[in-house]
C-alpha cells in the first residue's frame, strides 16, 4: 500500500499525486495520520495518506496501452510478419491464397485462429496449449501455459493486444461474424469483477452529477458486460460510440429523471 507523507494532509496528498502523475479525481485517498505539529521541534509527526488509482483509472491505463503494445510486441518478436500472413493481404501472397483465407468455413477459421494463437505464444517464449470453449455468446480460446504472466502482460496489455488481433483475424477469415475471447488462466474472470465495480461506480457518478460519463475504449465483450450490468437501472442508459479498436461506452442519465 503506497504511503505518502507531508507536513499536512494536503501536502502529503500533493506529494502522492505528483509521484503517481495522477489527478485527484482519478485516485482513492485514505488518511492514515493527520500528523502532529509538536512543540519546539519535539514530538512532530508527518501527516500520512495512502493513495491508490481508482478502478476506472486502472482499466483506462490498461486499455490505452493496448494499441501501443500491438505495435511494440509486433516489432520485438516478429509478430508483424505473422499478422501480414494471417490477417492482412501480403503483397507476396498469391490470389488463390488470399481467396482461401477469406472463404474459410467458421470451423476452419476457428482452427486456423487456434494455430495462429499457438504461433504467437511460441514467439513470446511462452508456448501455450489452446483450448476452445463455446458459450452462447463467444468462442473462448483458453491459452494454457507455464508462463501466464508473459501472455497477460502488465495490466493485461499483451493479452488485450492478442485479443484484438484474434478478433481481426476471425472477422477476416470466418464466413460468419463470430465473437471471440482470448483468456489466460482466470484473468478474464478477474476482469469481470473489476468491470462490474467500474460499472457500478460510474452509474453512481452519473446519478450524482446528472452528467454523462465517457469510458475509455475497451473490447466489445467488455462493453457488453457493462451494458448488461447497468441494463436494469432505470435511471441510467448506455450506448457505444466510435470505431474499433477505439470504440468506447457512454453512460448517461435518463432525461426524464433529471
Domains and CATH numbers, the chain: 3-53 (no CATH), 60-185 (3.30.300.20), 189-257 (3.30.1370.50)
Helix (H, G, I), strand (E, B) or coil at 50: strand
Centre a 10 Å sphere on the Cβ of residue 19 and count the other Cβ atoms it contains.
11
Q: Are 230 and 238 in contact (CB under 8 A)?
A: yes
User: In the beta sheet, which residues pair with residue 141?
Assistant: 132, 182
Over residues 236-240, the mean pLDDT reads 94
Q: For 17-24, what is the mean pLDDT?
A: 77
pLDDT tens digits for 74-122? 444 444 444 444 444 333 333 344 445 567 899 999 999 999 999 989 8
Residue 44 neighbours by CB distance under 10 Å: 12
Distance between CA atoms of residues 107 and 134, nearest Å: 12
Q: Which residue has the higher pLDDT, 68 or 104?
A: 104
**Alpha carbon distance 227, 147 (integer Å):** 33
Residue 53 pLDDT: 66
For the whole model, what pTM was predicted?
A: 0.54
In this predicted structure, the answer to whether residue 237 has a pLDDT above a threshold of 90 is yes
Cβ count near 52 (within 10 Å): 16
- pLDDT above 70 for 193: yes
pLDDT at 61 over 80: no
pLDDT digits (tens, 9 = 90+) for 141-186: 999 999 998 898 877 778 888 888 898 889 888 888 888 999 999 9
Confidence (pLDDT) at 125: 85
Amino acid at each position: 500500500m503506497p504511503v505518502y507523507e507531508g507536513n499536512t494532509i494536503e501536502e502529503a496528498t500533493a506529494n502522492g499525486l505528483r509521484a503517481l502523475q495522477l489527478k485527484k479525481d482519478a485516485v482513492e485517498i485514505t488518511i492514515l495520520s493527520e500528523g502532529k505539529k509538536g512543540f519546539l521541534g519535539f514530538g512532530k509527526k508527518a501527516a500520512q495518506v495512502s493513495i491508490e488509482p481508482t478502478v476506472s483509472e486502472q482499466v483506462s491505463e490498461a486499455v490505452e496501452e493496448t494499441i501501443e503494445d500491438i505495435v511494440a510486441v509486433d516489432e520485438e518478436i516478429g509478430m508483424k510478419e505473422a499478422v501480414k500472413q494471417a490477417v492482412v493481404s501480403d503483397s507476396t501472397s498469391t490470389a488463390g491464397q488470399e481467396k482461401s483465407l477469406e472463404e474459410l468455413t467458421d470451423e476452419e477459421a476457428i482452427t486456423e485462429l487456434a494455430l495462429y494463437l499457438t504461433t504467437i505464444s511460441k514467439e513470446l517464449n511462452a508456448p501455450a496449449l489452446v483450448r476452445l470453449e463455446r458459450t452462447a455468446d463467444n468462442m473462448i480460446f483458453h491459452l494454457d501455459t507455464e508462463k501466464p504472466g508473459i501472455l497477460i502482460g502488465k495490466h493485461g496489455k499483451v493479452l488485450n493486444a492478442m485479443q484484438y488481433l484474434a478478433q481481426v483475424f476471425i472477422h477476416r477469415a470466418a464466413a460468419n461474424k463470430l465473437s471471440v475471447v482470448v483468456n489466460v488462466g482466470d484473468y478474464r474472470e478477474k476482469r469481470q469483477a473489476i468491470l462490474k465495480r467500474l460499472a457500478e461506480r460510474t452509474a453512481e457518478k452519473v446519478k450524482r452529477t446528472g452528467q454523462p460519463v465517457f469510458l475509455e475504449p475497451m473490447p466489445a465483450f467488455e462493453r457488453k458486460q457493462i451494458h448488461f450490468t447497468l441494463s436494469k437501472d432505470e435511471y441510467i442508459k448506455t450506448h457505444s460510440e466510435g470505431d474499433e479498436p477505439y470504440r468506447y461506452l457512454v453512460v448517461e442519465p435518463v432525461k426524464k429523471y433529471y
